[in-house]
Amino acid sequence: MGAMAMTLVVATLLVLLGTNSAMAWDGAGVIHVSGKVMCQDCTKGYNEWVNGYRPIKGCKVSLTCMDDRRRVRHYVSDTTDEQGQFDMTVSKYINGKKLNEKLCSVRLLSSPDPTCNVLTDFAGGKSGIKLRRPTFLYRDMVKYILNPFYFTTPMCEQPDTSESDGSNGSNHY
């Protein structure tokens, strides 16, 4: 009977150790999301417009992670440095539950530069971009390096050409 109990204890330990090691391989413990925010002036010539962007210091960028029911699980924002770079770090486990980074999106929030503060959707900055494929996977870290987001000058802003619904009573022809 003692040998049977010892075998049961050893089998239980092997199962528990196997489960813990499988959980360790389940994914990294930290998610890094980084990128740049630039200003692009549409009033320049084509070559200057394509290659003449400059970094913006102090821009706000956000990372929002949802759950399977489209509720916000985690929200974090960061401010860009002198080179226009941001870097946000998020734990892969929030309140004991695994965060699904495929349900996270990054978007631009604001620019402190009055000469370059119009949101653009170039590279998904205005509408947000989902995290798809990590750039780096190393031990307990997953890193996403995103393409640059862009603001533009107020002079380059597209006018709103959508038709009004006529409910304001000013539909005179």
Please name the residue that has the structure tokens 């997953």: 142
- Nearest Cα neighbor of 62 from 77, 81, 75, 72 is 77
pLDDT tens readout for residues 5-39: 555 555 555 444 443 333 444 445 899 999 999 99
- Integer Cα distance of 41 and 153 in angstroms: 6
* Amino acid symbol at 125: G
* pLDDT higher than threshold 50 for residue 63: yes
Summarize the confidence of residues 139-154 as an average pLDDT: 91
- Integer Cα distance of 151 and 130 in angstroms: 19
- Integer Cα distance of 82 and 59 in angstroms: 10
pTM here?
0.71
- Integer Cα distance of 89 and 128 in angstroms: 18
Question: pLDDT exceeding 70 applies to what percent of the chain?
Answer: 71
CA 57 to chain centre: 18
What is the pLDDT confidence band of residue 76, given thresholds at 50, 70 and 90? very high
